[in-house]
Chains A and B, each alone.
Chain A
Amino acid sequence: MAEEKKYRKVRIKKGPKGWGGPLVIEPKPGRDLIYSVTGGGIHPVAQRIADLTGGTPFDGFKSKAAFEEIAVAVIDCGGTARVGVYPMKKVPTVDIYPTSPSGPLFRFITEELFCSGVRVEDIELIE
């Protein structure tokens, strides 16, 4: 039998001038991707979440994944498109820029699903 992967939980709080959260993220088997939809590969914030939780870092611009496999999406969105797309699909979303709900999809962006301005030091292990 394959060894079962151990996951841990993190709390992610908003950074300076950020909005929303805190989010509690705990990857689960089959839903353990730390989905980085950022320019230039896996963002350090996504890497940190993966390192702490045991989730799998994943580059959304390189490969394809289903929403059901995503534990959290990390974006570097300037406020219009990506901020809404992942919350709309009920995927918890971390924006490294301090954006607030805006854009045509703003109604999907809630404090339970979205947290912005997040830096590496805003992520802490809770279990």
Chain B
Amino acid sequence: MMSAGRVYPQKTVVPALIFVMLNFFAYSPYSGDYMIKYQANVTFIGPMVSEFIENHILILFGESAPEELMEFAIIHDGKNLIKPLAVNDSVQIGESSYKVLAIGEVANTNLANLGHLVLKFNGNTSVEMPGDVCLEEKPLPPIQVGEKIMIYD
């Protein structure tokens, strides 16, 4: 009687645990196909962002950016850079996705410390400035508050 009582829960607990773990791997950043390195939601769009859009550039900053930088920037709530960006990663903004072609030597530090990213949609495979991240040359995405930004490999 006693031993049967112990066996019974194991039979249900183990499959339940496997089910939970399968779900965890399927939906976590570590799922087989790709890893999400950075995630954020747009919280504010500076009034002068359009000046940079004309030059095929988007400037991103985290929410601690001083006011004078917010003027030119897309402000977002991203916090953790899980893994440094690398060439061939993808940057997704809303529904549009862009392949990373080149990364400046300080771009990852800027992103990790300040949520700061300089995206240049110019198709270049080498950076002009150390903070640049060069992306495919495609039309810039429409940006609005609430839009999701995601970087994955």
Contact = CB atoms under 8 A, between A and B. Distances in A.
**A and B co-occur in one complex:** yes
Given A39-B114, A64-B66, A64-B67, A81 B73 contact: yes
Q: How large is the interface on A (under 10, 10 to 19, 20 to 34, 35 or more residues)?
A: 20 to 34
B128 A102 contact: yes
Given A81-B118, A85-B69, A99-B130, A76 B52 contact: no
Contacts of B66: 37, 60-61, 64
Given A61-B64, A64-B67, A78-B129, A85 B72 contact: yes
A30 interface: no
Nearest to A78: B131
Chain A interface SS verdict (over half): loop
Interface string B108-121: 01101110101010
B121 to A, nearest CB: 13
Interface string A62-80: 1010010000000011111
Interface of B: 51-52, 54-55, 57, 59, 64-69, 71-73, 104, 106-107, 109-110, 112-114, 116, 118, 120, 128-132
